[in-house]
Amino acid sequence: MTTRTAALSALLVLGTTLAAPVTFLSVQNEDQGATKIIGELAREYQKTNPASPYTYQNAPQTDLAQKLQLLAASSSLPTVYNIDQPALLGQLYKTGQAADLEATFKKLGIYNTLNPAAVALIKRQNDGRLVTLPLELNIEGFWYNKAIFAANGLKEPRTWAELVKDAATLNAKGLQPFAASGDQKWPLTRLIGGYAARKYGYDVMDRVKAGTLKLTDPGFVEAARAVQDLGKKNYFGKGVNTVDYATAVDQFLQGKAAMIYMGSWVLSDFNDAARNKIGTQNIGLFNFPAVTGGKGSTNDWSLNTGISTAVNQKFNDADLGNWIKYVFTRYGNKALAESGMITGFTVTQTPRNLPVLTSLTQTKLKAVKNGYLWFEANFSPKATSVATDNAQLLVTGDITPQDYMSKLQDALK
């Protein structure tokens, strides 16, 4: 080997060692939720490991799939990235651009930091593979204003009929029963999914995926009709389809609506004293109520692990292993202590003063018998769009429950 070749090889080796940056492509702002916690831990790691500088990139959620496809086509996906389409993630896994995290975590000896329930949820969504990180563990249900309920002599409803009756009582007194963002569309389909889970059981959408249940079956049409009825009776307020996410949350937090169906990711908004005018002590949570003749149980909850986050297999070497080990053995504790976030990572140090709603959510989570995913979790992007777009027409009565479900069944083909 000539001196020049040796020098060049040395430079290359050095270059490889030095260039191990970690880039996180996220739909969240850098000071928000999981992205904030990861960013802080990564910068901590960078102090002792300057060879692994951390950079953050942002992509709006609406452009995420398109951006990921372009990056993946040129083999330029970042180290860690948000991804909101299971089908796309499956393709990336097959082309070696998404890591098998079960193998990775086991190899690093930190598999026990993952909450088994969260792992099971991710596997159910991704053909039995652990390909995303459980950065959150969210529970979904009806959050309600205790003061409004007490003032009107209402109790947490146990059945759908009781829920509708409560809504009627509130509406008759000029109070808006539910806040919902029809502009975001998914808050409406969540209700259809919840109703179906109570009607057929928690595994309802897995059965639809397997083809043993059809969306045109009577239980689904009943679910669509039940949600349509709420819309037709104006229980979501005027102009539900023009209400954006922040407005819906604010309607609830300003006491203008008595209930909101939402995931526990909303706790960061509930814990924001500037926005929350009704006080965290005044907020309660109940599960999706039972429906007449339904097989589902109110011990089953809708759960999810937040926006999916994958690791690029291309960079999955020893250096990245050290980074993963550092960040994700600390992630669960830090997220809970600093942001009151419940994650899919085990917590070894429980903070003394947990926010009251975080404690409430934890209590509910502990009692979960079976978890189920949201309505469109198994759908293709096209079917998801058919479900959400038409939900707007469903609640305004512009499409019949039968038409809604048959359009959706057609889109599944």
Residues near other proteins (CB under 8 A): 65-66, 69-70, 72-73, 85, 87-88, 91-92, 95, 182, 185, 237-243, 247, 250-251, 256, 380-382, 385, 389-390, 392-393, 396, 398-399
Tokens of 92: 């990336």
- Minimum distance from CB of 62 to other proteins (Å)? 8
- Minimum distance from CB of 246 to other proteins (Å)? 10
- Minimum distance from CB of 73 to other proteins (Å)? 4
Comparing C-alpha atoms, which of 81, 79, 86 is closest to residue 64? 81
Comparing CB distances to other proteins, the nearer of 85 and 152 is 85
- Minimum distance from CB of 212 to other proteins (Å)? 26
User: Which residue stretches of 254-348 are H helix?
Assistant: 267-270, 318-339
Comparing CB distances to other proteins, the nearer of 118 and 386 is 386
User: d(Cα 21, Cα 35) in Å, to the nearest integer?
Assistant: 17
Comparing C-alpha atoms, which of 44, 159, 125 is closest to residue 309? 125
- Minimum distance from CB of 253 to other proteins (Å)? 12
Q: Are 128 and 102 contacting, i.e. CB atoms less than 8 angstroms apart? A: no
Comparing CB distances to other proteins, the nearer of 139 and 240 is 240
User: d(Cα 77, Cα 95) in Å, to the nearest integer?
Assistant: 12
Sequence-ordered list of residues with C-beta below 8 angstroms from that of 104, at least 6 positions apart, any chain: 311, 316, 321, 324
Comparing CB distances to other proteins, the nearer of 92 and 365 is 92
Determine how many CB atoms are found less than 10 A away from the CB of residue 338.
12
Instruction: Determine phi and psi for 201, rounding to 5 degrees.
Output: 110, 165
- Minimum distance from CB of 376 to other proteins (Å)? 13
- Minimum distance from CB of 70 to other proteins (Å)? 7
- Minimum distance from CB of 309 to other proteins (Å)? 18
Sequence-ordered list of residues with C-beta below 8 angstroms from that of 53, at least 6 positions apart, any chain: 21, 22, 46
Look at the alpha carbons of 217, 223, 227, 233 in this order and tell me if their dihedral is positive or negative.
Answer: positive
Comparing CB distances to other proteins, the nearer of 228 and 392 is 392
Q: Are 205 and 377 contacting, i.e. CB atoms less than 8 angstroms apart? A: yes
Comparing CB distances to other proteins, the nearer of 215 and 399 is 399
Comparing CB distances to other proteins, the nearer of 92 and 290 is 92
> For residue 188, how many C-alpha atoms fall within 13 Å in the half-sphere facing its CB?
34
User: d(Cα 129, Cα 318) in Å, to the nearest integer?
Assistant: 22
Comparing CB distances to other proteins, the nearer of 213 and 248 is 248
